Each structure stands twice: as C-alpha cells, then as structure tokens.
C-alpha cells in the first residue's frame, strides 16, 4: 500500500438540509499545478473510515499490556481479537453499505477489522455521493494527484457512522532536506575521542556500546521501515553499503520482504538511509520494507499504510517511520482516529517509532504578529515512541552528545499529557522554569515529545551506488533506535519473553536509566523578538529536545530483559 505523511480526517459539522459538511477547507499548495478537471467517467478511489466500537476499552487494554507492573504486561491481542473489540456495529456497517450501494458503489474492499472500506467509483458518482466535492488533477515534479478543490458534505443519516472520508483533500507534505549546515567543533571531553569523518555503523556501534556479538539470531524476529512519498531503496545500494561499512559485524545484505511495489528510477536518499541503518544497527534481523504499491492518484499514502496494518496478521515487531506533518494542518478528528490505529498496533505488541521532525520547536505565525511553536503529528501522538536527534560535541570525534539544533520537540496542542510522562515533564518544567519560552508559545498540559534520541547528524549513505556524506535529520536517528529495540526483542524472544510492544510506559519508568543523558544545547524556535530563534533547551533527565537521552545499548538491554 501507499505511503506518505499524516493525512487529515475531515470533521463533519452540520451545515444545512440534513447534510453534514467537512470543516476542512482544502488549499492547493502553490507547487502543485492544476492540470484538468476529471472527466465524469474517470475512476478514483476513496477510503471510508467507519466508526469503531470500544475505543476506550482498547486504550485501557493498551495501558495494561504495556505497563510492566501490570499482570497483563506482554499479553498481546491477535488481529482477530482486535477486530472483535473495535469492529463497527452492525448498524454502522449496514448504514454505510446501503449508502454506498444506493449510489451504485459496489467495487469496495474492506479490512479484517472492518473499520475501513476502500471503494472505486467514477468522478461523477463520487461527486453525487459527497455533495460539494469537485475532483481535479494536479501535478508536481512529474507526479500527479487527484484531489477535490472544495469541501464535501455527507447526509446526516450517514455522518454519525463515519469518522472521515480519505482521498479528497490532502496533498503530501514536502520532503525534508536531509542535509544541513554543520556546527562548529566543541571543547575537550572526558571520553576517549576517536577521529572520524562521518557517522557510519561502526561509529554508532562504538558510541552506543554494541559489540560484534550484538546481532540478531532469533528466527521469529523482524523489523520494518515504511517508505512514503514515492521513496524507494535499491537492493544494489544496500549491498554496496554493507560491503563498505558492515565488515565488523554479522549482517544481512538483502531485505527479506517488500510489501508493495518498488518503483523504478532513482533511489531516494530517505529510503536508502532508513533501510541501511535499521539493518546495520538491528544487524542480522529479518527486515521488511513497506513501500508504494503503484498508487492510484486519489490515494493518500500514509492512510494506505495504516489500512494495511489493519489487514495483516503477521507483522514485524518494530516499525520506524520518518515522516510527519504540522498538527495545525490536520483535523483533530483525523488525528484521534489515527491514534486509535496506533493503539490497535500497540495491543498487538508492535512498537511504532516516529521521527520527531527536523524543525526544532517549529513556528506558527498567528494573527496580529503573534507566534507560537508548531508541534508535529504523529510525533505528538501519545501512542508512539518519538525519536529526536543529537550531534557529537565535536563533529569529527566520538565524544559525548549534545542537542542537534534541528531535533523536533515540544508539546501537543491536541493531545493531553499521558499519565506515563506527567511526572517527568512536570519536573522539567519546574527545573527550567526561569529559562522557558513564554507560555503563550506552547501548551504545558499537552503530550510532550520526543521520548528518546540518537545521533542525527553527519551520516554516510549509499544511494544510486554513490557514497554520500553529511546526511542528517531525525530520519537517521529513528531507524538507529528501531534497530536497537529490534535487537532487544531478539534477546527477549530467545528467552521466551514477549516483544517490547508500546515502549513508552516502560521507558518512562526507567527514569533515564540505561540512557546517555543529553544536557547541552537548544533547538530551533520562532525567529522573533521574544524567543529569538530558540525553542526549548536540553536539561538533566527528560527534556522536550532529546527526551530521556540516547541508548547505552548493553545497559538498556539489561534493563529491558527484566
């Protein structure tokens, strides 16, 4: 299925004549050029998210199976058990099916949990089904999309049974630039400093204390990356990367399974980075790549990946994803539904890791010259583990780590602070109260992120058979952490223990044990008179720039094997 960044759920609000209208006002990005109105007979595909049952029970189940102090810890549900819990009511299914069939829509696929339907129909039928919608084709860099240029509505008999309709409005976010300016070298450190010319698997293993013996061996273990925005990796690049950088540890040089269809043309730097580093940190572990399946122009890639997870009974234990979008560009209802999808994964024992983003605290320009920080989703979801970024104090030596100024972090404006992190965040806010940005810039009661971090600066990547230096971003740190969690799962599985699943409740109970605390540096914020380009700053224990810090692998393994 397809990939992408976060895609919005369109809240339906009463408008008139028994219709419920989308409050999302679509805006076509300036870099997407309008090509044409679709002809009436042209086909498109829409995704209907049906209202689920027992969402609160699902959340409570996730809490119990993720809390190491619970008797239910690690007692995960099967896909069938998840389906039995959240499956839409018979009434919801009947109403939505009848509504579609009454418009002649019969070419539909559903998922095992029956809470998503994907239907193919003509433009003419789609616009009758969803009054107000008008589908056009847009193009950018040779890629075309079909989207509606106006809000849609749904009859009030149907709206109460739907969360949203996907495939209408959302355009993919721009890819982030994975290279950035380098920072100057720093002072003397207490660690033995080894000269290097960039981050490679050997440098990561040295910094995080992985030995040549720290490789996978369990037969039932696996890890995955998900690629969006038509990013592809090339098998030849992976083989070349491992021949250059993998000689000191046992590894695999091939991906075990590609879910979807690898596109032709050049490899993407993002995809190359993700695959090469999860497979060199989580070395010798079976790796899957979820990639674009030759998408229909009207599909929304991130949503397609989420739908796919609801339809596969056998999935890797760890997934790393390096994409996100601004919270304020998405509807709250969409994010709430995607959170439910994350919970569905968590109760099955799946660890979802998301990059915290490369814009620091971000900046949103409000009315009358006011600004606020700009949190990112899914990084701000309470039900994923979010990974920030660090740099070596001296960029050419293996020294201690400091904040990478691009590391995304902050406080959600949508989701309340989960109980598992309340004490840690409260301690941070009290400890640095005198130096915090003005409280008008962030929501002190929101879900705070990231949860942990790893090096995100100055990586070597092989892409299109060319070794490329200076590649940076939390897109690098996330698969590195994912690979280490996959190694820990490997040892747990060999001992007959369940996989780690949703890590955060256990991570926060460690209170920084087994991680290298990052206490220096600040990340980016708004360029204005009040904060002058500075967001939050690192501090002892948890902070909203690097979370609890970076992994000390042997100590983290020992802590998580208990």
Q: What contacts 433, CB < 8 A, 6 or more positions away?
A: none
558 vs 492: CA distance, rounded Å: 10
d(CA 511, CA 429): 16
381: left (phi over 0), alpha (psi -120 to 50) or beta: beta
Q: Give yes or no for a contact between 460 and 449, defined as CB atoms under 8 angstroms apart.
A: no
Phi and psi for 259 in degrees, rounded to 5?
A: -100, 110
CB atoms closer than 10 angstroms to residue 68: 12
Half-sphere exposure of 516 (CA within 13 A, CB side): 23
Question: CA 460, CA 241: separation in Å to the nearest integer?
Answer: 9
Find where tokens 């239910």 sit.
72
How far, in Å, CA of 492 to CA of 499, rounded? 7
Alpha helices in 54-188 (DSSP H): 55-66, 79-86, 90-102, 123-129, 156-159
Q: Does residue 427 sit in helix, strand or coil?
A: helix
Which residues are within 8 A (CB) of 94 and not within 5 positions of it... i.e. 6 or more apart? none
| Paired residues of 288 in beta bridges | 224, 257
378 cis-preceded (ω within 30 degrees of 0): yes
3-state SS class at 539 = coil
pLDDT of residue 172: 53
Distance CA 524, CA 441 (A): 13
Provide the 3-class DSSP secondary structure of residue 46. strand
> Encoding tokens for residue 209?
């204390």
Kindly state the tokens that stand for 41. 């007979």
φ, ψ at 219 (rounded to 5°): -75, -25
What was the pLDDT predicted at 183?
34
Query: In CATH, what number does 196-561 get?
Result: 3.40.50.200
Instruction: Count Cα atoms within 13 angstroms, Cβ side, for 375.
Output: 26
Residue 232: both structure tokens together: 């592809």
Residues 484 and 395: their CA atoms lie apart, in Å, by 23
- Look at residue 102 and give its three-state secondary structure: helix
- Determine the Cα angle at 279 with ends 318 and 519, to 5°: 75
- Strand residue runs (E) in 356-488: 364-365, 371-372, 376-377, 385-392, 401-403, 410-416, 446-449, 452-455, 459-463, 466-471
CA-CA distance, 6 to 171, in Å (whole number)? Answer: 10
Closest CA to 454 of 278, 308, 290: 278
475 is catalytic: yes
Question: What is the Cα–Cα distance from 381 to 337, expressed in whole angstroms?
Answer: 11
Bridge partners of residue 37, in order along the sequence: 136
Which residue(s) pair with 153 in the sheet?
21
Residue pLDDT tens, the chain, 562 long: 323 333 233 334 334 444 444 444 555 555 667 677 888 998 888 889 999 999 999 999 999 999 999 999 999 999 999 999 999 999 999 999 999 999 999 999 999 999 999 999 999 998 999 888 888 888 877 677 777 777 778 888 898 999 988 876 555 555 444 444 333 333 322 333 345 689 999 999 999 999 999 999 999 999 999 987 667 899 999 999 999 999 999 999 999 999 987 777 788 898 999 999 999 999 999 999 998 644 554 456 788 888 888 889 999 999 999 888 899 988 888 889 999 999 999 999 999 999 999 999 999 998 888 999 999 999 999 999 999 999 999 988 999 999 999 999 999 999 999 999 999 999 999 999 999 999 999 999 999 999 999 999 999 999 999 999 999 999 999 999 999 999 999 999 999 999 999 999 999 999 999 999 999 999 999 999 999 999 999 999 999 999 999 999 999 999 999 8
Tell whether the torsion through CA atoms of 467, 323, 285 and 548 is positive or negative.
positive
Let me know if 270 is a catalytic residue. yes
Predicted confidence at residue 185, as pLDDT, reads 30
Q: In this predicted structure, what is the pLDDT of residue 229? A: 65
pLDDT the model gives residue 29: 58
| Catalytic residue from among 214, 270, 276, 297 | 270
Report d(CA 109, CA 239) in Å as an integer: 37
Q: Which of 115, 163, 274, 341 is catalytic?
A: 274
Where in the sequence of the chain do the CATH 3.40.50.200 domains occur? 196-561
What phi and psi, each to the nearest 5 degrees, are found at residue 425?
-70, -40
CB 136 within 8 A of CB 146: yes
The C-alpha atoms of residue 424 and residue 430 are separated, in whole angstroms, by 10
Tell me the C-alpha distance between 172 and 76, whole Å.
33
- Is 286 catalytic? The answer is no
**Residues 414, 8: contact at Cβ < 8 Å?**
no
Q: Cα(329)–Cα(5) distance, rounded to whole angstroms?
A: 12
How, if at all, do strands 33-37 and 43-50 pair? unpaired
CA 93, 94, 95, 98 torsion-angle sign = positive
* CA 508 to chain CA centroid, nearest Å: 20
């Amino acid at each position: 299925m397809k990939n992408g960044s976060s895609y919005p759920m369109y809240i339906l609000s009463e408008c008139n004549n028994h219709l419920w209208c989308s409050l999302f006002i679509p805006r076509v990005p300036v870099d997407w050029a309008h090509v044409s109105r679709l002809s009436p007979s042209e086909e498109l595909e829409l995704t209907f998210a049906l209202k689920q049952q027992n969402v609160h029970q699902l959340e409570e189940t996730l809490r119990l199976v993720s809390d190491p102090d619970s008797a239910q810890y690690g007692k995960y549900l099967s896909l069938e058990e998840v389906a039995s819990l959240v499956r839409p009511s018979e009434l919801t299914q009947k109403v939505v099916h009848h509504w579609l069939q009454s418009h002649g829509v019969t070419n539909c696929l559903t998922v095992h949990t029956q809470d998503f339907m994907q239907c193919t129909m003509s433009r003419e039928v789609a616009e009758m089904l969803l009054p107000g919608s008008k589908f056009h084709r847009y193009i950018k860099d040779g890629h075309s999309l079909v989207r509606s240029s106006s809000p849609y509505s749904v009859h009030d008999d149907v709206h109460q049974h739907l969360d949203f309709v996907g495939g209408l409005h959302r355009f993919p976010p721009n890819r982030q630039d994975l290279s950035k300016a380098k920072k100057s070298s720093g002072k003397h450190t207490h660690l033995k400093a080894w000269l290097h010319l960039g981050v490679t698997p050997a440098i990561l293993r040295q910094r995080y204390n992985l030995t040549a013996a720290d490789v996978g061996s369990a037969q039932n273990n696996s890890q995955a990356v998900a690629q969006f925005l038509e990013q592809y990796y090339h098998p030849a690049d992976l083989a070349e990367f491992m021949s250059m950088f993998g000689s000191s540890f046992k590894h695999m040089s091939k991906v075990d399974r590609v879910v979807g269809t690898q596109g032709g043309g050049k490899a993407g730097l993002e995809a190359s980075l993700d695959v090469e580093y999860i497979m060199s940190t989580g070395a010798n572990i079976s790796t899957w790549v979820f990639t674009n399946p030759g998408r229909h122009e009207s599909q929304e890639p991130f949503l397609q990946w989420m739908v796919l997870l609801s339809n596969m009974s056998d999935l890797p234990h760890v997934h790393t994803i390096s994409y996100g979008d601004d919270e304020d560009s998405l509807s709250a209802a969409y994010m709430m539904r995607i959170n439910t999808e994350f919970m569905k994964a968590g109760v099955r024992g799946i660890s979802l890791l998301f990059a915290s983003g490369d814009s620091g605290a971000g900046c949103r320009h409000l009315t009358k010259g006011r600004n606020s920080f700009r949190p990112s989703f899914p990084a701000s979801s309470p039900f994923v583990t979010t990974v920030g970024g660090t740099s070596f104090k001296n960029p050419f030596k293996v020294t201690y780590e400091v904040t990478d100024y691009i590391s995304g972090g902050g406080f959600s404006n949508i989701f309340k602070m989960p109980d598992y992190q309340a004490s840690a965040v409260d301690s941070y806010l009290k400890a640095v109260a005198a130096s915090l940005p003005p409280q008008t810039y962030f929501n002190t009661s929101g879900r705070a992120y990231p949860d942990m971090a790893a090096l995100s600066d100055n990586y070597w990547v092989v892409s299109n058979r060319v070794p490329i230096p200076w590649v940076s971003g939390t897109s690098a740190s996330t698969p590195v952490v994912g690979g280490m969690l996959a190694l820990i799962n490997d040892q747990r599985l060999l001992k007959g223990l369940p996989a780690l699943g949703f890590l955060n409740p256990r991570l926060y109970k460690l209170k920084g044990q087994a991680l290298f605390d990052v206490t220096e540096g600040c990340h980016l914020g708004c360029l204005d008179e009040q904060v002058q380009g500075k967001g939050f700053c690192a501090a002892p224990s948890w902070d909203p720039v690097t979370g609890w810090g970076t992994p000390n692998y042997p100590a983290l393994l020992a802590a998580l094997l208990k």
